[in-house]
Amino acid sequence: MRYMTTDDYGFDTLAIHAGQDPDPRTGAVVPPIYQTSTYAQDAVGAPRLGYEYSRSGNPTRDALQECLAAIEGGRRGLAFASGLAAEDTLLRTVCRPGDHVVIPNDAYGGTYRLFAKVAERWGLDWTAAPLDDLDAVRAAFRPGHTRLIWAETPTNPVLNIADVSALAGLAHEYDALLAVDNTFASPYLQQPLALGADVVIHSTTKYLGGHSDVVGGGLVVSDAGLGDELAFHQNAMGAVNGPFDAWLTLRGIKTLGVRMDRHCDNAERIVGYLSEHEMVAQVLYPGLDTHPGHETAAKQMRRFGGMVSFRAAGGPEQAVEICNRAKLFVLAESLGGVESLIEHPGQMTHLSAAGSALEVPADLVRLSVGIETVDDLLADLEQALG
């Protein structure tokens, strides 16, 4: 496959073609699903095209990995069975027992659980800090032990913004790495590697897959050496995605750009509506001029995304009632699909953070704004808000 870069083509062209040349045998314009576990070898020690066993390499997964690298502007992409599988592989590649990581004080609940309930038992220490406060991040550093800053921007679910370039400078000052979870923004809206990050993380389940029909994860890096280390651990740990999952994710990526534009259009209309509603105490969206991270987001993002959170004026009980009354907004976890979703983070996606420093407000409602007709979405919110 010919390696394609952003120097050659625009984003949408890369999303459709990178890693996806027509099949040389049949001319199929869509990469085949190589639904196989093993491969015939031409001789002992001579696997055909390097393929031996599908945990170690699969042509469909390779196509996805090349596409991931291209759309993030990286040198190497790696695909995994889930976003958390990608996170775990990254941690155990770049960290050792006794190392330390700085994480957001409003991180995704699954990331918090991975650090607090799994990695900590392995001997990895961590500190939660507000990543939009560089002084707080610096204060959390343990020179000689802090190996990684783990960033989300926008964060899940309160949509805080971190300055990727500034965090990269701080991490590199201490010979640490910066990893950025780019799931909420997607590569279409933000490319952290170009801003100085060392690793980009994705739950490809979300906007990249885009249709709520596949679970996956991804890592993208610019440094070839780090890419080799991650690839070794990907194979050694084995949390790879299957060929059909890789194929579904590739299919989703083809329409990422056009979908993200509609997600953003709809989200902006909904933010305007919620901002004027008497039953809404606060709207959390980086596209608002009043958002504390608005200027930073405007600097590093193409647009402000399809995720919207708000706090119910009537408190936690009202927040739950709004979620339960919604009809077109489906009450469900996850995000980034073509259909709109609503959830109560405190009792759903972020329940694992309850009672910790990362606990989310009980009156918070999170919307994943889909690509439906926006007037229908607004009407559903009207009746849900009562």
For each of the chain's 386 residues, which pLDDT tens digit applies? 455 666 689 999 999 999 999 999 899 999 999 999 999 999 998 999 999 999 999 999 999 999 999 999 999 999 999 999 999 999 999 999 999 999 999 999 899 999 999 999 999 999 999 999 999 999 999 999 999 999 999 999 999 999 999 999 999 999 999 999 999 999 999 999 999 999 999 999 999 999 999 999 999 999 999 999 999 999 999 999 999 999 999 999 999 999 999 999 999 999 999 999 999 999 999 999 999 999 999 999 999 999 999 999 999 999 999 999 999 999 999 999 999 999 999 999 888 888 888 888 999 999 999 999 999 999 999 999 98
pLDDT at 349: 81
Q: How far apart are CA 145 and CA 334, in angstroms?
A: 34
Q: What is the DSSP letter of 7?
A: T
Q: How far apart are CA 366 and CA 333, in angstroms?
A: 10
Beta strands, E only, the chain: 41-43, 46-47, 76-80, 100-104, 125-129, 146-152, 177-181, 199-202, 217-221, 280-284, 307-312, 330-331, 341-343, 364-368
pLDDT at 356: 84
Residue 59: phi, psi to the nearest 5?
-60, -35
Strand ranges across the sheet with 280-284: 280-284, 307-312, 364-368, 341-343, 330-331
Which residues contact residue 377 at a Cβ distance below 8 angstroms, ignoring those fewer than 6 apart?
A: 266, 270, 328, 329, 340, 369, 370
Q: What is the DSSP string of 120-149?
A: HHHT-EEEEE-TT-HHHHHHH--TTTEEEE
Provide the annotated active-site residues: 55, 108, 181, 206
Q: What is the pTM of this model?
A: 0.95
Residue 309: phi, psi to the nearest 5?
-120, 150
CB of 116 within 8 A of CB of 356? yes
- 274 CA to centre of own chain: 25
Residue with tokens 């405007």: 298
CA neighbor of 377 nearest in space, from 342, 351, 334, 350: 342
pLDDT at 5: 63
Q: Kindly report the CA angle at 179 between 214 and 244, in degrees rounded to 5?
A: 20
pLDDT at 144: 94
